[in-house]
Amino acid sequence: MQQQRSATGNSNFILFFLIGVGLVLLIFLFTCNTQKKSVAGTTTTTTVSPPLSIPSNIGLPQLMPSGNTIQHSGYTLSYNKQHKQPSWVAYLQTAQHTQTATEVRLNGFDPDPLASFATATDADYEGTGFDRGHMAPAEDMAWSKATMQESFYFTNICPQQPAFNRGVWRRLENLLRYWSEAYDSVYIVTGPVLSNDLPTIGPHKVSVPSLFYKVVLHYNQKGTKAIGFVLSNVASAATLQTFAVSVDSVERITGINFFDGLPDDVEERLESRINANEWLWKKISK
């Protein structure tokens, strides 16, 4: 009888032991599964920081305290009241902007409703033979009705020779749209090279620039580089690489400090040199 009780006791002990081990194992497995779910949930909501710290004003030149800066939804500009045209127009062109550019081009040009000063008008261009040349191109701004309308404000317009505007200048605009897709986005600043000895047109004496420029900054997770272009306001069949220069050289002829939001050491490195081989070039057929 004592041996039977001993055997029964041993059996109960083993049974309780196995049950205890099973409970511990179940608790362990449940805890691990919960932790995995928690980690998975965190992964889907965590924003991965880019390798670069990108200031919000990175695409803008140094702002001057003149009160002539206007910010639209598609671009920012600094207007030169003496020459009746923008000193610069700056905007971020993204791949999405380029790929969703479906708005129909407008025909008429309008005064800028945000301008508190006199600007050029249609009367300045009529009968002169000059095109009303966009700085922020209508095709770049075709991603919304508002930005398309903004591109036709006279604060975004300069006098350009038709063969220049519709030729090499358009080829360059096409190239930069290609870059916006190839690099996900590019910062663009563009405008005329202004000086006091320029001829004028129209009743408001709108200066006719002999040179135009574009500076381009690629600054995102895909890389960093910068390049400038300076073109004469005349027809040209030359390759676009012919007009490529450093950003520093554009600063010297315009007096504008581009991409002022960059850290000083990065700005110096990117703007002081040019390497055309860093950029993707393709033949522009349009």
Q: Is 204 a catalytic residue?
A: no
Helix (H) or strand (E) holding 217: strand 211-220
CB neighbour list of residue 54: distance below 8 Å, 6 or more residues apart = 219, 220
CA distances from 90 to 1, 59, 73, 130, 257 (A): 99, 7, 11, 23, 13
Helix (H) or strand (E) holding 92: strand 85-94
CA distance 267 to 60: 13
- Nearest residue to 195 via CA among 152, 242, 254, 145: 254
Distance of CA 215 to the CA centre of its chain: 12
Contact 119, 147 (CB under 8 A): no
CB neighbour list of residue 125: distance below 8 Å, 6 or more residues apart = 132, 159, 201, 202, 206
- Nearest residue to 79 via CA among 141, 146, 155, 139: 155
Q: What is the gyration radius of the CA atoms in the chain, in angstroms? A: 31
Q: Catalytic residue among 72, 134, 204, 218, which? A: 134
Helix (H) or strand (E) holding 224: strand 223-232
* 59 CB neighbour count, 10 Å cutoff: 25
**Where in the sequence numbering do the catalytic residues fall?**
134
